[in-house]
Amino acid sequence: MNSLSKYLFKEFFKLFGTALCIFVSIYLIIHFFGRVDDLLEAQVSKGIMLSYFLYKIPYIVVQMLPPSVLIAVVILLTMMKKNNEITALKASGINVNQLLQPLLFMSIFLSIGLFLLSEVVVPFTSSKSNEIWRSKVRKRHTQSFYGHSHIWYKSKNAIYWFRRFDSKGTVAREVSIYYFSPDFRLVRRIDAHMAVWKNGAWHLKDGVELRLEKGKGYVSRGFRKMTVSLPETPQTFAEVEREPEELNYWQLKRFAERVQEEGYDARRYLVDLNIKLAFPFIVVVMVLIGFPVSMKIERGGAPVAVSVGVGLCFLYVFVLGVTRAIGFSGVLPPFLSAWLANIIFSILGVYLITLVPR
C-alpha cells in the first residue's frame, strides 16, 4: 500500500466514522421523540426502554452507512481540492482518477460488512426491538420474541388457526386445523387446547376431531392426546407476520417461495428479497457518484460538500422508492426494480468520472 492510499484510508475512515456517528445519533433522537410518549404511556421501565433503543442501533447503522460513505468521500475530496492537494498530485504526475481506486476498495470492503451486518445481526436485534414494542407497549402479550396471536395460515391441503403461537417454546394454544378436499369441501377438522412440537411432530392435547366418513357424514370424537404429522414446523409459523428486516435473505426467500406455492401474489416479498442483495452495493454506488461530483465543487468547502452529499442521498432514496413501488405494482420484475437505482446511478457516476480532468 503506497503513501497516498494510506493517507486516503486514514482520512476517509475518520470522516466516515464521524458522519456515521452523527447520522445514527440524529436518527436515534428523532426516533426517541417519535416513540417516547407511547413508551411512557405504557409505563415501560427505563431498562426496557434502553434495551428497545439499543436493539434499534444495528438497523439504524445499516440505513445510515451508505450516506455516511458518500458524505465522507465528498468532504475528503472537496477539502483536498481546497488545500491544493489535488493540484500537487497533478503536478507530480499522478492521475486524479487514481484516487478512485483505494476509495472503491474501501467501498467494497464496507459493502461486504454491510451485508453481513444486515444478514447476521439486524434480524436478531430487529426481532428483539419489535417484540418489546409489541408486547410491552402495544400489550400484545407473547411468550417469546417470535410470538404471534390470532394467526391464519394456509398450506397446500389445510388451513391453520392459532389463538397464540410461541415458536421459541414450540407451543401453540387454542389450535384449529381444517382439511379440505380438492373441491374445497371440509373433510376433517381438529380443535385442540394445545399443540406441542416434539421429536419432529405436533402433539395435540385436549381436543375434538371432526371427520367426514362415507355414508355417515361428519363424525366427531374427543381425545386427550393426538400426534399429527404436518409439513409445517415451528419455524414456518415463526416467519408469519414478521417485518422484512427481521428475516435474513434465506428466511425471506423461503417465505416468498411458500407464498407462491400457496397461490398468492409474492411480488412484494420478491422485490424486498432482491433489495436485500442490492442494498449493500449502494456503498459502491455512493463512491462512484460522489467522486466526480466532489471534483466539480469549486468553492464553498465542507458546507457545500455536505449539502451536495445530502442532496444526492435524498435523490437516490427517491429513485429507489419509485422503482420499489413500481416493482410492487408488477410493472417491473423484482430484480430490475431492486437494482435499477444502482444501475442508473452507477452509469451516471461512470459517465461523470470520464469528464473529470486528469
Binned at pLDDT 50, 70 and 90, residue 32 comes out as: very high
Name, in order, each residue with C-beta under 8 angstroms of 191's C-beta and a sequence gap of 6 or more. Answer: 175, 176, 207, 208, 210
Q: How far apart are CA 317 and CA 328, in angstroms?
A: 16
More confident call, 189 vs 92: 189
Question: Considering the domain boundaries, does residue 178 fall inside one?
Answer: yes
**Range from 117-131, 241-255, 288-302 that averages highest in pLDDT:** 117-131
| Mean pLDDT computed over 222-230 | 90
For the chain, what is the domain count? 2
Q: Distance (Å, rounded) from C-alpha 106 to C-alpha 69? A: 10
Q: Does residue 29 sit within a domain?
A: yes
Residues 13, 67, single domain; the answer is: yes
Q: Report the chain's mean pLDDT, rounded to a whole number.
A: 84
72 shares its domain with 211:
no
pLDDT of 148 reads 44
**The domain containing residue 177 runs over which residues?**
148-232
Residues 134, 171: one domain? no
Answer whether residue 2 shows pLDDT above 80: no
0.75 cut: is pTM over it?
no
Q: State which of 211, 232, 253 marks the end of a domain.
A: 232
Predicted pLDDT of residue 139: 64
Q: Is the same domain home to 161 and 197?
A: yes
For residue range 68-123, list pLDDT tens digits in order: 999 999 889 888 888 888 878 878 877 777 888 899 999 999 999 999 999 999 99
Q: Are 117 and 178 contained in the same domain?
A: no
Distance CA 145, CA 130 (A): 8
Say whether both 85 and 126 belong to one domain.
yes
pLDDT at 145: 30
Residue pLDDT, tens place only, 126-173: 988 888 887 787 765 443 333 344 577 777 778 888 877 664 557 888
Q: Are residues 169 and 226 in the same domain?
A: yes
Q: Indicate whether 98 and 43 sit together in one domain.
A: yes
In a domain, 129, yes or no: yes
Same domain, 34 and 102: yes
Q: 132 with 223, same domain?
A: no
Q: Where is the domain boundary, 232, 253, 288?
A: 232
For the segment 282-305, the average pLDDT, to the nearest whole number, is 81
Alpha carbons 48 and 177: distance in angstroms, whole number:
37
pLDDT score of 19:
94
| The CA-based dihedral angle spanning residues 26, 29, 32, 36, taken in that order and rounded to the nearest 10 degrees | -150
- Confidence at residue 44, expressed as pLDDT on a 0 to 100 scale: 84
Alpha-carbon gap, residue 106 to 341, rounded angstroms: 21
Q: Which is more confidently placed, 288 or 313?
A: 288
Same domain for 131 and 20: yes
Instruction: Tell me the per-residue pLDDT of 43-54, one tens digit each, with 9 for 90 and over.
Output: 888 899 999 999
Is pLDDT larger for residue 1 or for residue 71? Answer: 71
